[in-house]
Amino acid sequence: MLSNLATRDVETLIHPYTNLAAFREAGPLVLERGHGVWVYDTDGRPYLEGMAGLWCTALGYSNDELVEAAREQMARLPFSHIFSGRSHDPAIELAETIKELVPVPASKVFFTSSGSEANDTQVKLAWYYNNALGRPKKKKIIGRVKGYHGVTVASASMTGLAANHADWDLPLPGFLHAACPHHYRGAHPGESEEEYSRRLADELDAMIEREGPDTVAAFIAEPVMGAGGAIVPPKGYFAAIQPVLARHDVRLIADEVICGFGRLGSWFGSETLGIQANSLSFAKALTSAYMPLGGVTVDEPLYQAMLDQSRKIGTFGHGTTYSAHPVASAVALKTIEIYKRDRIIEGAAAKAPHFLRRLEALADHPIVGEARGLGLIGGLEIVADKASKRQYEPKAGVAARCVAFAQEEGLIVRFLAGDRVAVCPPLVIREDEIDTLFDRLGTALDRTQAWIREQGLQAA
C-alpha cells in the first residue's frame, strides 16, 4: 500500500530512467533529509548514499557553508543573466578559477545549467568552429558505445546507449560511435590491455579514414565511463587514440561531468589518465550538486573563430537564461574553496586504495564477473557463468534486483545496462563508511545469489 506522498508522486511526476509501468506499483523512495553520506526517508530510515546522488554530491549532504553561500548570494543578487554584455562578480571569479584549474588550454569559459547542456554546446561549437574556418563538411561527431553525454537531442546522439536512442529517432545523422573500451567484454582471448588499446586506436583510425577526415569534427570521451557501466579504460587507451585524433585534426572533448573535481583523485580525470583534450565539459561536483551548474572550456583558436563569426553575423547566437546564474556561481566558488582548504581531493586519493581493495574483493563472489574501479568510482558486473562471462537474460533484471536488496540493507547504489552495478560515494566518505558500504553490498549480492537459485534463472 503506497503512502499518501507516494501516491501523489505516482500521479504527478515523471521519473527519469525509470520503468514507468512497474513504478506505478512499486512507488518511490521518498527522501526527506540528508547529512554527510547518509540520507533519510520519510520514516526516518537511514541509507548510505553510495552513488553521491547521481555521481555528484561530492561534499555529502547538508554542508552548512554551501547553504550559507547560497543564502548570502540570494540576499544580495538572486538573479542576473549575462546576455548582451551584462555580468556579475560570482560569474567572473568562477570563470577565472575554472581557467586556473583545468588541464586544457582555456581562453574562456561558457556556463550552462547541466552536463547535458554543456555537451550539447560542445557539438554546436564544433560545428560553429568549422563553419568559421570554411570547412562546412567537417561536422561529424564520434562518441563511443556505452558512452554517456546527456539527454538533449545532440548530447543523446553522442551517447552510446540503446535506451537513449530507441523510439527517440536518435542518433541524428552525423553522429558515430566507436567501440566501448571495456577490456573485460571486448578483448580477444589472451589480448593484453595495451594490445586491446592499440587495436581500438587502429579501429578508430579506420573509422575516420572511412568517413573521411575532412568530415569528422570531434571525438568525445569520459575519462571513466559513468552511466554506461562505470567502466575503467584499458591501460594505454588514451595514449593510443590521441595521436590518431591529432593526425586527422579531430578535436578531443573530455567529458568531465562525472570525473571532474576529484572523483579520480585529481582535480580532473584527464590528469589521472593523461588526456590532452582541446576542451572539456564539467558540471555535477562543481557545486557538489547543491545548485545546477555546468560549462565548457573554450580554447583560443575556438574563441578567435567565435569572434570572427560575431563580426560576420552580428552576435554569438547561443545561450541560456541561467548561464552563470549568480547563486549557482557563488555556491561553486565556495565548493572549490572547500575542496582546496580541506584537501578533499587529496583525501579522496588517499582513501581510494581502501575503496578499490574492497571493490575488487567482490570479484571473488560467485555471481560477480568483474569488479573494477579508479579513484572513488567503480562498477561490478553480475554474470551467470564466471568462466565464459555469460550473462542472464536482460528481462530477468538481476542487477536491478541486487540494487533493490541493497536498498533494503540501507545502501543506495545504481544498476546499469548489462547487469552492471555502480558505486560512487561522496568524496567525504570515511574509511569505516566505505567498509559499511561494501559490507552491505556484499550482503545484497548474497541475497541476489539466493534469489537467482529460487527463481531458477539460467544464462542467456
Q: In this structure, is the dihedral angle defined by the CA atoms of residues 86, 91, 96 and 99, taken in order, positive or negative?
A: negative
Binning pLDDT at 50, 70 and 90, where does residue 4 land?
A: confident
The domains of the chain are located at: 4-62+343-455, 66-341
**What is the fold, at CATH topology level, of the domain defined by 4-62+343-455?**
Aspartate Aminotransferase, domain 1 (3.90.1150)
Residue 391 grid coordinates: 550473462
pLDDT of residue 26: 87
pLDDT one-digit tens code per residue, 245-262: 999 999 999 999 999 999
Task: Give the CA-trace dihedral at 117, 119, 120, 121, to 10 degrees.
Answer: 90
pLDDT beyond 60 at 1:
no
Per-residue pLDDT tens for 33-57? 999 999 999 999 999 999 999 999 9
What distance lies between CA 82 and its chain's CA centroid? 27
Please give the angle made by the CA atoms of 280, 281 and 282, to the nearest 5 degrees.
120
pLDDT at 275: 98
Nearest to 376 by CA among 237, 257, 283, 269: 269
Mean local confidence (pLDDT), 358-386: 98
For strands 140-144 and 175-178, give the pairing: parallel
| Whole-number pLDDT of residue 460 | 78
Is residue 64 packed enough to be buried (19+ CB in 10 Å), middle (13-18) or exposed (0-12)?
Answer: exposed
Q: What is the mean pLDDT of the chain?
A: 97
Mean pLDDT to the nearest integer, 323-338: 98
Distance separating alpha carbons of residues 170 and 177, to the nearest angstrom: 12
Dihedral sign of CA atoms 315, 321, 322, 325 in order? positive
**Over the stretch 260-301, which tens digit does the pLDDT of each residue have?**
999 999 999 999 999 999 999 999 999 999 999 999 999 999
Closest CA to 118 of 286, 338, 312: 286
Per-residue pLDDT reduced to its tens digit, 213-230? 999 999 999 999 999 999
pLDDT confidence bin for 454, thresholds 50/70/90: very high
The 8-class DSSP code of residue 213 comes to G
User: Is the predicted pLDDT of residue 351 greater than 70, yes or no?
Assistant: yes
The region of weakest confidence among 24-28, 66-70, 363-367 is 24-28
| Element containing residue 359 per DSSP (H, E) | helix 344-361
Can you tell me the mean pLDDT for 130-143?
97
Give the contacts of 342 (CB within 8 A, at least 6 positions apart). none
- What average pLDDT does range 56-67 have in this prediction? 98
At 277, list the grid cell. 583534450
> For the domain 66-341, what is the CATH code?
3.40.640.10
CA angle 230, 271, 147 (to 5 degrees): 30
- At residue 433, the 3 state secondary structure works out as helix
**CA 317/CA 124 separation, integer angstroms:** 11
Q: What is the pLDDT of residues 173-195, one digit of tens each?
A: 999 999 999 999 999 999 999 99
> Sheet harboring 377-382: ordered strands across?
368-374, 377-382, 420-423, 414-416
Q: Minimal CA–CA distance to 299: which of 317, 326, 277, 330?
A: 277
